[in-house]
A and B are shown apart, each in its own frame.
Chain A
Amino acid sequence: MLRFRGSQHLRQRLVCATLSGRLIRIDGIRERDESPGLRDYEANLLRLIEKLTNGCVVEINETGTSLRYKPGFVTGGSGLVHDCGTSRGIGYYLEVLVCLGLFGKKPLAITLRGVTNDALDPSVDVWRSATLPLVRQLAGMESGLALKVLRRGARPDGGGEVHLTVPLAARLPPVSMADEGMVKRIRGVAYSMRVSPQASNRLVDGARGVLNALLADVYVFTDHMAGAEAGSSPGYGLALVAETTAGRLLSAEAVSPAQLQGHEEAAMPEAVGRSAAHALLEEISRGGVVDSEHQGLVLLFCAMGPVELSEVRLGPLTPHAVRTLRHLKAFFGVTFNVRPEAASRTIFLSCIGTGLRNASKRLT
């Protein structure tokens, strides 16, 4: 059994525990907090994992500060529905679903309801335009992995709905991503719901004002949803993806504040568009084959990969990536070789994977 402390990195602890089949125990979850114990979204995540797997055992103490998790087998299946609540965005749950769904018994098809676009978690637009293409590259699959946005939902009331399908992976190919390439085009989605349809165009104007100085090939789709498709709260935002000559994708986004009233000045659509463009420039300047949000995901796929050398090049490591490296060592015994390159301020990380196989899929 592996023992941990604190609420940090809970999602990946659960994912790694399930994939490696190891029992974990976490103590001291927010024990010195005003409201100690697991949060509602964490309990919701555990319910989602129970839905997805067969035979898992979750034990939580009375105060919610200790959690014992015995993983089961991932079953997957279609026709699943889950209400993600409004505390965290749907992006919070998607990472778990995609990582586990690849190693299930049946292909996963699930409908999720909740907040689709949020500042704390990657929005469904980033998932659709950057994360899923990345997972397709990492898992070596052409099609089958898809996310469809049926309704958008902003904070605070949500009301969004998405449909996710995840195919099965027998085993993963080695990862070799050392070439960054140069940014050749920038694409994006400007979305708005329950506000004037003009907001999307103003978002695009703000972003183009910054990006067109560097590149002419900037195209942002506008997506204004109205009526039942717009969810329960007003909001707007912009997700941008830079595509490089080596086929790498770097994403960044900005969203309007959760409460639009009282933040009119800071939340002018032009200002939100500009800050999305600034965030994208920051990601490009950091370097690496993925942006800072996806570092942990790439490292996880390297560790789960075959018993061969996998190598990636990343920008400065985020705290999440550092925690991921520590957890991969604890769960899979994978230690990465870290080689910083001073001139470009990037880091080459390489490892020998564990050769994780889908236990329920026979190799022929």
Chain B
Amino acid sequence: RAAALFSARGGDLAAHIYGVPATAEPQGQDAAALRGHVAKNKDGESDSDEELFVPRQRSSSGGAACDAEDPEAPDTVRDALDEAHLAGWGDPGAAERLRDRFVTGDWEAAAQR
């Protein structure tokens, strides 16, 4: 799901954004976010008492930040960047791929963007 957000897909991007409303109307419960949580609750109820009071385990903040539907997602504008992915910019030749985005690159190639 996180990958879908970062891909520049075609027309269904709008549906992806506006498919889930920000508000949560109690009678509707049609938000996908709510549905996910209701389903989780039902799974937990069926088993023994020990599981009754087990708090929901949070994944690391990095994982949670990548989920636009999580109602408890951390409130930050900063996108949790994968460190391994960032370190990839240190590979030889990696920075060179961005050459045309700089004034030192090909201006005609940049103008076509």
What 0/1 readout, one digit per residue, does chain B (74-88) give for beta carbons within 8 Å of chain A?
111111010101110
> Once the chains bind, are A285 and B90 in contact (CB under 8 Å)?
no
Decide: A8 near B73, CB < 8 A? Known: A281-B89, A340-B9: yes
Known contacts A278-B87, A279-B86, A293-B79, A341 near B98 by CB under 8 Å: no
A213 contacts B by Cβ under 8 Å? yes
Q: Does A363 contact B (CB under 8 A)?
A: no
Q: How far is the CB of B3 from chain A (nearest CB, A)?
A: 10
B107: chain A residues within 8 A (beta carbon): 182
Contact with A along B37-59 (1 / 0, CB 8 A): 00000000000000000011010
- Least Cβ–Cβ distance between A187 and chain B, in angstroms: 15
Interface assignment of A73: CB less than 8 Å from any CB of chain B: no
A318 and B79 within 8 A (CB): yes
Total A-B residue contacts, Cβ distance less than 8 Å: 179
Stretch in A166-174, A189-197, A302-310, A342-350 touching the partner: A342-350
Task: List A contacts of B6 (CB < 8 A).
Answer: 316-317
Query: How big is the A interface, by class?
Result: 35 or more
Q: How large is the interface on B (under 10, 10 to 19, 20 to 34, 35 or more residues)?
A: 35 or more
Decide: B76 and A346 in contact? CB cutoff 8 A. Answer: no
B residues 29-43 touching A (CB-CB < 8 Å): 31, 33-34
- Tell me which of A3, A122, A297, A325 contacts B17 (CB under 8 A): A325
Which residues, 85 to 122 on A, are CB-close (under 8 Å) to B? 92, 95, 119-122
Find the A residue at minimum CB distance from B54: A32
Partner of B78, one of A4, A11, A120, A341: A120
Let me know if B55 and A33 touch, CB within 8 A: yes
Residues of B within 8 A of A319 (CB): 2, 5, 65-68, 73, 79
Which residues of B sit under 8 angstroms from A282, Cβ to Cβ?
A: 81, 85-86, 89
Known contacts A4-B24, A316-B7, A319-B67: A326-B103 contact under CB 8 Å:
no
Smallest beta-carbon distance A125→chain B, Å? 14
Q: List CB contacts (< 8 Å) of A328-353 with chain B.
A: 329-330, 335-338, 340-347
Given that A6-B33, A11-B75, A33-B58 are contacting pairs, would A284 and B90 also be in contact in the complex, using a CB cutoff of 8 Å?
no
Name the residue among A6, A11, A341, A342 with the largest chain B CB count within 10 angstroms: A6
Residues from 310 to 327 in A contacting B, C-beta threshold 8 Å: 316-320, 322-323, 325-327
Extra inter-chain contacts (18) besides given A319-B66, A330-B23, CB under 8 Å: A4-B23, A6-B70, A8-B72, A33-B72, A182-B100, A184-B103, A215-B102, A278-B86, A279-B86, A281-B94, A281-B98, A282-B89, A285-B97, A319-B2, A322-B16, A323-B22, A326-B21, A338-B14
> Shortest 7 CB-CB distances between A and B: which pairs?
A6-B71, A326-B22, A319-B68, A5-B24, A278-B89, A316-B6, A322-B68
Chain A interface residues toward B at CB < 8 A? 2-11, 27-28, 30, 32-34, 42, 92, 95, 119-122, 180, 182-184, 210, 213-216, 245, 274-275, 277-279, 281-282, 284-285, 287, 292-294, 296-297, 316-320, 322-323, 325-327, 329-330, 335-338, 340-347
